[in-house]
Structure 1
Amino acid sequence: MSIFKLTVLAFVVVSTVCVYLFMRPYWVPLYHKVAGKQSVSDVIREYGATSEARLRPFFQQAGVQYPPKSVTLLAIKGTDQLELWASNDDNPVFIRTYPVLAASGILGPKLQEGDEQVPEGIYSLEYLNPNSAFHLSMKLNYPNDFDLIHAHAEGREAPGTNIFIHGKAMSVGCLAMGDEVIEELFVLTAKIGKESVKVAIAPIDPRQHNILPLAHGKPKWVSELYTNITDYFSRYQHSS
């Protein structure tokens, strides 16, 4: 094959990959218009059995009945980790740790639309999206009340929105977990109800490090935020 043909072939392959990866927010909705949208129930039927087969052994090993009554996801940006904790009473139990495949931005809270920061704080879930451009997704309630109060006080009219935990391995302010992991978390959340899931996101693990120095040079409210995050994480201690 000539150098010209190889160059053309390489261009076509690279272009196709780029369109698939980076244009997903545009072509996936068009695909759903043609193929039809799926529901949460459709996702459960398609992925429920296999995702639960992967997840149940971790619950059994932890001694927690599946599905649990409540779940907490602890995200640690500095180490790209997401911890799954579950409870059937008032005592959360560690289930497992997932690697975060992609999380854009740097340490520090999200401030405005387009800064590509992953938020830091304590959040709930607004809804499950079975037709995500990134396989499946779960929307955080960012900006929450705390975020909005300080955004308004500082005149930040667009603190950002549309922050998800989703599949695939690319991120623009979201936590990208890969397809199999989001299937597990999506199915688990659908089973117990989004109201029973909390998500806390920290810059580094406040159980191992004092995160308050990271607020140095930032607005005063960041110290308050990091104190709240530290207090929240303190409820989730690994057994020695």
Structure 2
Amino acid sequence: MAIKIKGKQTVEQVIETYGLSTRDELAPLFDRSGITYPPKKLALVAFKDTNVLEVWASNEGSNYQLIVRYPIKAASGKLGPKLREGDRQVPEGIYTIIGLNPNSAYHLSMKINYPNAYDLEHAKAEGRAEPGTNIFIHGRAASIGCLAMGDPVIEKLFSLVYATGRDNTTVLISPTDPSKNPLVVPSNAPEWTRDLYDKIEAHYQTINSNRYNSEYSAAKQSSE
């Protein structure tokens, strides 16, 4: 049994409040895509240039299917990876969710594992001792390097990740939709950004294999 600290709430109490309504709203969208709720695997894919977060899910052994898109209410910074504490940049890369905070100042929040091993490797190589930390997907509509989804949406995402399991959830943050646009490295970005973008594109292709087509491949080749 969860113990509630005075003035605080537990993750379980948040799920008790929002879990059933989330299932009622999202389960038909999952059914329409041929995916069970909760799914076996979940991918949250954010595009910085359009401020859109896509929810993808898969059954055991099946391809990922797009379930729903949500607008990102606020995301500070510009295109390009996050490099240091206080640069207000939303990170770019492939992440996991390492914590669910039921008592966030931004209603509810989910912490991602920025800086991950890739981020730390390049920070160390460049002598950046403080690459930043505490990056969340959260509610409200204000951001300093996080993805602010608004309260109703974070209630759904929080409940969905809880139901699926953090270990079964990935977060991909890309400068743009790789199935529509080439990932162009900003002029002031580090040299390794090209490698990062190649990894982002490859990972997104495993999620969104249905939308990758010869037209995009040809467009990318002509831009190189």
Alignment match, 1:222: 193
Higher helix share: 1
Q: Structure 1: which 5+ runs fail to align?
A: 1-31
Percentage of matched positions with identical amino acids:
52
Alignment match, 1:60: 31
Alignment match, 2:94: 122
Q: CA deviation at 1:234?
A: 1.2
1:39 lines up with 2:10 in the alignment: yes
The amino acid across from 1:192 in the alignment is T
SS at match of 2:202: helix
1:108 lines up with 2:80 in the alignment: yes
Tell me how far apart the structure 1 counterparts of residues 187 and 141 of structure 2 sit (CA, whole Å): 32
1:1-240 equivalent positions in 2, closer than 5 A:
35-90=6-61, 91-211=63-183, 213-235=184-206, 236-238=208-210
Deviation readout 1:24-62 (Å, 9 max, x if unpaired): xxxxxxxx98x5211111001111122222211211211
SS at match of 1:149: helix
SS at match of 2:87: coil
Alignment check: 8 A CA contact 2:76 2:89 kept:
yes
Q: Structure 2: which 5+ runs fail to align?
A: 214-224
SS at match of 2:156: helix
Tell me how far apart the structure 1 counterparts of residues 23 and 106 of structure 2 sit (CA, whole Å): 20
SS at match of 1:234: helix
Runs (4+) off by over 6 Å: none
Tell me how far apart the structure 1 counterparts of residues 16 and 154 of structure 2 sit (CA, whole Å): 15
Relative to the length of structure 1, the TM-score reads: 0.82
Tell me how far apart the structure 2 counterparts of residues 134 and 218 of structure 1 sit (CA, whole Å): 30
Tell me how far apart the structure 1 counterparts of residues 32 and 146 of structure 2 sit (CA, whole Å): 30
Q: CA deviation at 1:216?
A: 4.1
Alignment check: 8 A CA contact 1:51 1:180 kept:
no
Alignment check: 8 A CA contact 1:215 1:223 kept:
no
Tell me how far apart the structure 1 counterparts of residues 177 and 202 of structure 2 sit (CA, whole Å): 12
Q: CA deviation at 1:218?
A: 2.5
Using the TM superposition, name which of 61-70 and 215-224 deviates more: 215-224
Q: What RMSD over aligned residues (CA atoms) do the two structures have, in Å?
A: 1.6
Alignment check: 8 A CA contact 1:94 1:238 kept:
no
Alignment check: 8 A CA contact 1:118 1:173 kept:
yes
The amino acid across from 2:11 in the alignment is V
Tell me how far apart the structure 1 counterparts of residues 98 and 162 of structure 2 sit (CA, whole Å): 12
Alignment check: 8 A CA contact 2:81 2:189 kept:
no
The amino acid across from 1:231 in the alignment is A
SS at match of 1:78: coil
Larger radius of gyration between Structure 1 and Structure 2: 1
Alignment check: 8 A CA contact 2:23 2:37 kept:
no
Alignment check: 8 A CA contact 2:80 2:189 kept:
no
Using the TM superposition, name which of 214-223 and 134-143 deviates more: 214-223
Q: How many residues align?
A: 207
The amino acid across from 1:128 in the alignment is L
